[in-house]
Structure 1
Amino acid sequence: MAELVYRPVVGAARTLFKALDLKIDTQGSENIPRSGGAVLVSNHISYLDFVFNGLAALPQKRLVRFMAKESVFRHKVSGPLMRGMKHIPVDRKQGENAYKHALDSLRSGEIIGVFPEATISESFTLKSFKSGAARLAQEAGVPLIPMAVWGTQRIWTKGRPRNFGRNHIPVTIRVGKPVEAPPEEYAGAITRRLRERVQELLEAAQRAYPVRPKDEKDTWWIPAHLGGSAPTPAQVREAS
């Protein structure tokens, strides 16, 4: 089936990122299968994470269908694009419809993108994972592909103004080897193993990140446990 919307959007994103002079460092794209279904699982620190997750799959000539909250599909600008790219709307009150849609897509050989933290992490640390990604992989008989992004929060994240200036922001992406999801295994155990792997990839991306803050005012995007001024997970919970 022709991709009349997805590929032009990818081209526009690449043009924008080139104009912003983003320094994108991707490793591990070869771990994304060239054919067949898979569930791509990433941390979530920015409104743009799905774009960079999708770019990581392009070297394997794959397009990722992301599960995203239903309100994004109602927006007058993003809605037609999301529908045209065949992403999957998630109504949290009726999640079974999105689950079935994703399962059918996986069985037809698509790659589905999932953010198992469900919402952006304002502490920029890894939150707890919901088990839906593992259950999808089990039921469809496909692998889970863990990945991590870092630096995207400096472009556009929750509670901060968008930074679309030509500031040469680096973005680091790491894709790990597949995590199997045997149908006989408890989904919670698979989810814990998956989260550990994403955590390892996140730490690897942070170590590889080429920028260090110039002064104390520029530490907002660094987690507190790494010496930054981002709120701790406990502070985020208290503020919510």
Structure 2
Amino acid sequence: MAELVYRPVVGLALTMFKAWDLKIDCKGSENIPRSGGAVLVSNHISYLDFIFNGMAALPQKRLVRFMAKESVFRHKVSGPLMRGMKHIPVDRKRGETAYAHALDSLRSGEIVGVFPEATISQSFTLKSFKSGAARMAQEAGVPLIPMAVWGTQRLWTKGHPRNFRRSHLPVTIRVGEPVEAPGDQYAGAITRRLRGRVHELLEAAQRAYPGRPRGAEDSWWLPAHLGGSAPTPDEVRKAEAR
């Protein structure tokens, strides 16, 4: 089936990234299968993560169908684009509908993108994972592809203004080897193994990242455990509770 919306949107995104002169370092794309279904699983630190996740699949000539909150599909601008790119709306009150939609996509040979943390991590560290990605992979009989992005939070993230004017920002992407999801294993165990792989990839991306804060005021995007001024996971939990 012709991709009348997805491919032009990808072309526009690549043109914008070139205009911004983003320094994108992507390694491991060969781990994404050239055919057949798979669940692509990533950390979540920016509103733009799905674009960079999708870019990692382009060398394999694959397009990723991302699961995203239903409100994005109601927006007058993003809605028609999301539907045209065949992404999957998630209504948290009727999660079984989105789950069934994702399963159908996987069984038809599509790659489905999932953020198992469910929301953006404001500490920029890895939150706990929901088990839905592992369960989908088990039911569809497809592998899980772990990956991590880093640097995207400097462009646009929760609680901070968009920063599209500053050029030359680096973005690091790492894709790991497939994680199998046997149907006879407990989904929780697979999820823990998957989270461990994403954590390893995130640390690798952070080590490879060339950008450093230019001063105390610019350290907001770096996690506290790496010397930055981002809130700790505990501080985020307390703020959310309030």
TM surpasses 0.5: yes
What do the CA deviations read for 1:159-206 (whole angstroms, capped 9, x no partner)? 100000142100000000000000000000000000000000000000
The aligned residue for residue 221 of structure 1 is: 221
The aligned residue for residue 125 of structure 1 is: 125
Within 5 A, what are the aligned runs for 1:110-121?
110-121=110-121
Q: CA RMSD in A?
A: 0.5
The aligned residue for residue 8 of structure 1 is: 8
Q: Which runs of 4+ in 1 moved over 3 A?
A: none
| C-alpha distance in structure 1 between counterparts of 2:131 and 2:68, whole Å | 16
Decide whether the 8 Å contact of 1:19 with 1:166 is kept in 2. no
SS in 1 for 2:65: strand
SS in 2 for 1:26: strand
The aligned residue for residue 212 of structure 2 is: 212
| C-alpha distance in structure 2 between counterparts of 1:14 and 1:59, whole Å | 13
Q: Using the aligned pairs only, state the percent identity.
A: 85
Decide whether the 8 Å contact of 1:21 with 1:166 is kept in 2. no
| C-alpha distance in structure 2 between counterparts of 1:182 and 1:169, whole Å | 40
What do the CA deviations read for 1:203-222 (whole angstroms, capped 9, x no partner)? 00000000111211111000
**Unmatched segments (≥5 aa) in structure 1:** none
The aligned residue for residue 58 of structure 1 is: 58
What do the CA deviations read for 1:116-152 (whole angstroms, capped 9, x no partner)? 0000000000000000000000000000000000000
The aligned residue for residue 230 of structure 1 is: 230
Letter in 2 for 1:218: D
Letter in 2 for 1:62: R
The aligned residue for residue 140 of structure 2 is: 140
Within 5 A, what are the aligned runs for 1:29-178?
29-178=29-178
Scaled by the length of structure 1, the TM-score of the pair is 0.99
**Number of positions where the alignment pairs a residue of Structure 1 with one of Structure 2:** 240
| C-alpha distance in structure 1 between counterparts of 2:135 and 2:166, whole Å | 41
Letter in 2 for 1:88: I
